[in-house]
Amino acid sequence: MPKSDTIKDLRKLSKIEREKKIEDLYDELLLLKSKNSMGGALDDPSRISALKRTIARIKTIENEELLGIKRS
């Protein structure tokens, strides 16, 4: 996922696109966590936190839509 994924960019995605993105992010997170737990050196350890943060942002957007909260 490029670093250009901002809240505005994520809000523009359709529900299906966000679901696909969150699935891809979970897959990448799983790979990084397993590599880290096996003792392997990660190229960018902060990527784990960034993935978690992006997943949380997408879930927040989905919850806002579910509750009918409008954000710009």
Does pLDDT of 5 surpass 80? no
Residue 18: count other Cβ atoms within 10 Å of its Cβ.
Answer: 19
Length of the chain: 72
pLDDT value of residue 4: 57
Amino acid 72: pLDDT: 64
Instruction: Please name the fold of domain 7-66.
Output: Helix Hairpins (1.10.287)
Confidence at residue 1, expressed as pLDDT on a 0 to 100 scale: 47
What local confidence, expressed as pLDDT, does residue 71 receive? 77
Cα 51 → chain centroid:
5
Tens digit of each residue's pLDDT (9 = 90 or more) over 16-58: 999 999 999 999 999 999 999 998 888 999 999 999 999 999 9
Question: What's the pTM?
Answer: 0.86
The first and second tokens of residue 25, run together, are: 């992010």
